[in-house]
Structure 1
Amino acid sequence: MDYQHIANTVADSLISYTKDESGWKVCKKSNDVIVSWRPSTEFPGNVYKGEGVVNGSPEKVWECLKPVPNGMRVKWDNNVKKFELLERVTEDVSVYRTVTPSAAMGIIAPRDFVDVILVKQYEDGTITSNATNVGHPNCPPQSGYVRGLNHPCGCICVPISAEPNKTQLFSFFQTDLGGLLPRSVVDSFFPSSMAEFYSNLAKAVRSLKDH
């Protein structure tokens, strides 16, 4: 499987999502984030976009976001229980298994996801994580977890030129949770969990500053 090629395609998709303004409908607003959605072209569900400004440099925000085993993300992100590295393909491309806890008061059972993730930096200082589902021989479906599928998703940390201690953060979630979940549960879960994601991230970045 050409993990590098798949990951590069995802990076292109995410950048195109930030540039294409058409069809997004706002479904949640908080002090931290505006969450919008539109029908996905990848699967019969929605793609969700989060957009907000985080107090902290792109490097600090990225330190909290980056997908690594035992990194900061598993400490503050309520939807990530653990990251397991399955294969390091290149310096920037890896295959991970992500385990998520049960959610929505137990209606959503624990899930696991196998994704190729590309970390890509752009010349203007933008840092991105780009992920999508792949198969991996070392990680067949496991009992106790519903295997979910992430379609192109990730985070884009964009520097704000006049304010070096602030970061514009786009996040995209495009996830087939699998299992037989009522559509209403899925449609209410993503906007609220993304709002929580931004507020918990802001706290995590603040805690970095305090050290």
Structure 2
Amino acid sequence: MNSTQLRELAKVTADTLQGYLRDTEDWKTSKKTKDVLVEHKHSAIAGNEHGYLYRAQCEFNCSKDILFKYMYPIGGAESELRKKWDKDISDLQLVEKIAPDLSVNMVRTNSAAMGMIYPREYVDLVFEICDDDVMSCNAVSIDCPAQPSNPKFVRGWNHPCGFFCHDIPGHPGRAKFVLIVQTDIKGNLPRSLVDSAIPGAVAGLCNNLRQILKKDGYLTR
């Protein structure tokens, strides 16, 4: 795809994620703790009808800018902070910078579920949208001939996914974090194993984010 086609795909992906944010129907609770709510529903994406769409929500007593900085998923110097605390990620690489807000990125993960889930890699188109109220990364996997599969990893596929950091009206210095996960990890794994592992992994990411923010002194209380 050329840059114009990639830009159009990015806009469609962002619109899809906005729909997931507004959607209030048929969500079921996957995992709920004091700080995190993880919900799921059947994916409506063609080719992923047997998979699930996951949405995690939590709030933090810090600015949305800090949340975005710690979650930043694009390979390069700015991603070193994400790799520092997110133990599920083994590598982040910037494949191509198409525009200041649009890039192709590769992420590699560690094994999961006590080694039963082999390390994965994903090549995603990532679209950053930042304004006064919301900062977001909107992503979807693409075929990328310039980044062939590594035989040490299983090449997975992310359907529209991403995260949002936004201010909470009436609560200065407090931000809401919403994470959207919709992935086909590929490989020959029982669907039940994948479905049971993802909610815990999503909640774990939110909890690990909270821990590093506390450690680094960014949470006000």
Aligned to 2:116: 107
Q: Which runs of 5+ in 2 are unaligned?
A: none
Residue 101 of structure 2, aligned match among 84, 92, 102:
92
Aligned to 2:206: 198
Residue 140 of structure 1, aligned match among 124, 145, 148:
148
TM-score (norm 2): 0.91
Aligned to 2:139: 131
1:72 positional shift? 1.4
Query: RMSD over aligned Cα, in angstroms?
Result: 1.4
Q: Deviations over 1:118-147 (max 9, x none)?
A: 110134x20000000001121111111100
CA spacing shift, 1:113–1:177, aligned 2, 3 Å: same
SS in structure 2 at match of 1:165: coil
Aligned to 1:154: 162
1:83 positional shift? 0.9
1:68 positional shift? 2.9
Aligned to 2:127: 118
| 8 Å contact from structure 1 (residues 55, 167) kept in 2 | yes
Return the letter of the residue paired with 2:55. Answer: K
Return the alpha-carbon distance in structure 1 between the equivalents of residues 173 and 217 of structure 2.
Answer: 11
Aligned to 1:34: 37
Return the alpha-carbon distance in structure 2 between the equivalents of residues 163 and 88 of structure 1.
Answer: 36
CA spacing shift, 1:81–1:164, aligned 2, 3 Å: farther
Query: What number of residue pairs does the alignment pair up?
Result: 210
Q: Which runs of 5+ in 1 are unaligned?
A: none
| 8 Å contact from structure 1 (residues 100, 112) kept in 2 | yes
TM-score (norm 1): 0.95
Return the letter of the residue paired with 2:21. Answer: T
Return the letter of the residue paired with 2:121. Answer: D
Task: Give the fraction of aligned pairs with identical amino acids, expressed as a percent.
Answer: 33
Aligned to 1:53: 59
Q: Hey, which bits of structure 1, 4+ residues long, moved more than 4 A?
A: none
Bigger mean CA deviation after superposition, 162-171 or 80-89: 162-171
Return the alpha-carbon distance in structure 2 between the equivalents of residues 185 and 8 of structure 1.
Answer: 33
Aligned to 1:67: 73
Q: Deviations over 1:19-43 (max 9, x none)?
A: 0101110110012210000010111
